[in-house]
Amino acid sequence: MKQRMVTGVFAGLVFGIMAILGGWFYEGLLLFLAVVGYFEFVRLNGYRWFDLMPLIGFAGMLVIVTPWEHAGLSEPSLAAVVWILMLLLLSVTVVTKNRETLDASALLLLGAVYVGYGFSEMMTVRAHGDYGLLYTAIAFGCIWASDIGAYFVGRAVGRTKLWPAISPNKTIEGAVGGIVMSLIVGVLFWLAAPAVLTIGHALLIGLLASSAGQFGDLIQSAYKRLRGVKDSGRLLPGHGGVLDRCDSWLIVFPLLTLTGLLA
């Protein structure tokens, strides 16, 4: 627990500084996390990163996550990138006469979109007009408050298992506690910035961050259970890998932009 706390505080401090600085500081950090996260995904599925299909998936992931506009270039269409990536991966199955399988094509396409689009939308939120830092802060604040609330409420009064086949330690009481804590943080941000956020807007972000974040955690738990591993990687001592730590983020930030909750 001590190692987990020390790692969490240090990583949170570095991440917070990079988010405040913004620009290439923040985007560079997210690019690094995306690269590590993708290779964790590749390893979880039993592939070697230097094989042809994982490298094609990696190239597609990089195209999706790279902030092209900040580099002075036009951002490619996401639909076009995904389609071309799909075509390339399927082509490998033909060229290798099914030595590389259709299952591998589907998994690596999934990994490229899951990791690439998730981290890309974290950059999108941070770059959102004059209030990108505020929206980034409220999103992460609500996600982390939800994690803390779910953990401590679950330990204190948790009795009813939420989804024991996937994550045996999570409880319904803990999930509700996480939502309540996230809503409280949303209200605090509304009080701090009433000119930008309405109370309803702040509560919706808090509700989305907690509910979608907890579901993102369950997605990663289900995947690790399927693959028979405890952690996706070892980048963060006591916390596991990038996918372990960022599983909530990868779901919450895309939903923030897709639902139009950024005013």
Residues 185, 238, single domain; the answer is yes
Q: What is the pTM of this model?
A: 0.93
Residues 151, 119, single domain; the answer is no
What is the structure's pLDDT at 9?
Answer: 80
Residues 183, 107, single domain; the answer is no
3-class DSSP string for the chain: CHHHHHHHHHHHHHHHHHHHHCHHHHHHHHHHHHHHHHHHHHHHCCCCCCCHHHHHHHHHHHHHHCCHHHHCCCCCCHHHHHHHHHHHHHHHHHHCCCCCCHHHHHHHHHHHHHHHHHHHHHHHHHCCHHHHHHHHHHHHHHHHHHHHHHHHHHHHHCCCEEECCCEEEEEHHHHHHHHHHHHHHHHHHHHHCCCCCCHHHHHHHHHHHHHHHHHHHHHHHHHHHHHCCCCCCCCECCCECHHHHHCCHHHHHHHHHHCCCCC
| Percent of the chain at pLDDT exceeding 90 | 79
Q: Kindly indicate the confidence band of residue 238, based on its pLDDT and cuts at 50, 70 and 90.
A: low
Q: Among 1-5, 62-66, 126-130, 188-192, where is mean pLDDT lowest?
A: 1-5
Domain holding 97, by residue range, is: 1-127
Residues 176, 119, single domain; the answer is no
Q: How far is CA 220 from CA 34, 84, 211, 217, in A?
A: 15, 27, 15, 5
- Is the pLDDT at 222 greater than 80, yes or no? yes
Boundary-marking domain end, from 127, 161, 184: 127
Boundary-marking domain end, from 74, 96, 127: 127
Residues 121, 177, single domain; the answer is no
Residues 111, 164, single domain; the answer is no
- Is the pLDDT at 50 greater than 90, yes or no? no
Q: How many domains does the structure of the chain reveal?
A: 2
Residues 187, 221, single domain; the answer is yes
Residues 77, 145, single domain; the answer is no
Boundary-marking domain end, from 127, 152, 167: 127
Residues 140, 120, single domain; the answer is no
pLDDT tens digit sequence for 158-186: 999 998 888 888 999 999 999 999 999 99
Residues 9, 111, single domain; the answer is yes
If you search the block for the tokens 């599925």, which residue do you land on? Answer: 45
Residues 104, 143, single domain; the answer is no
Residues 19, 92, single domain; the answer is yes
Q: Kindly indicate the confidence band of residue 2, based on its pLDDT and cuts at 50, 70 and 90.
A: low
